[in-house]
Amino acid sequence: CALPILTVTPTADAPSLSAAASAAYTENAAGTTLSSGFTLTDPDDVSMASATVTIATGLSTGDVLAAVTTGTNITASYSTVTGALTLSGTDSVANYQTVLRSVTYSSTSDDPTLNNTTRTLNWSVVDANSDGAGAATGSASTTLTVTPTADAPTLSAAASAAYTENAAGTTL
């Protein structure tokens, strides 16, 4: 009697991401951490291949995303044109989670709310296909509120001026 052959075909399970629903930044402040409690799990992969955090809506001149990658195999690169912080390099789920928890937003602009007071940030993580079932992508989003501050006006004038009595006016 022949035994039946059972073939099991694995499927790719996407990483599960949980990012803060909202975050806040005040103009001229140091970078604000977007999701210090970010969690990342994957039921069928022990490593991640890449991640991206993108300012999907509201991108303004001066917007900057950054991450701390020290002690990992992950490299970070930010594009001011697309508003995308790209993290690349195969590394553990734990290391990717740590780096994603360190992502900060800041602005170098003196008017970061000129076009928008909010930014929608999309997070995506691609697993490393360590189970051979195919790579899969998980995603989450965060809404960032940017608060402007009143910038004091600046005034420039000559350090000194000379005027002769009864002469025509002198421009200062």
Tell me the pTM. Answer: 0.85
Average pLDDT, the chain: 92
User: Alpha helices, DSSP H only, in the chain?
Assistant: 93-101
Checking if the pLDDT of 172 tops 70, the result is no
- Torsion angle of C-alpha atoms 105, 109, 113, 114, degrees rounded to 10: -150
pLDDT digits (tens, 9 = 90+) for 116-137: 999 999 999 999 987 788 899 9
Of 92, 103, 124, 97, the residue nearest 14 (C-alpha): 124
What does the pLDDT read at residue 21?
97
- Residue with the bigger pLDDT between 51 and 130: it is 51
Q: How far apart are CA 29 and CA 109, in angstroms?
A: 11
The set of residues, in sequence order, having a beta carbon less than 8 Å from that of 165 and lying 6+ positions away, is none
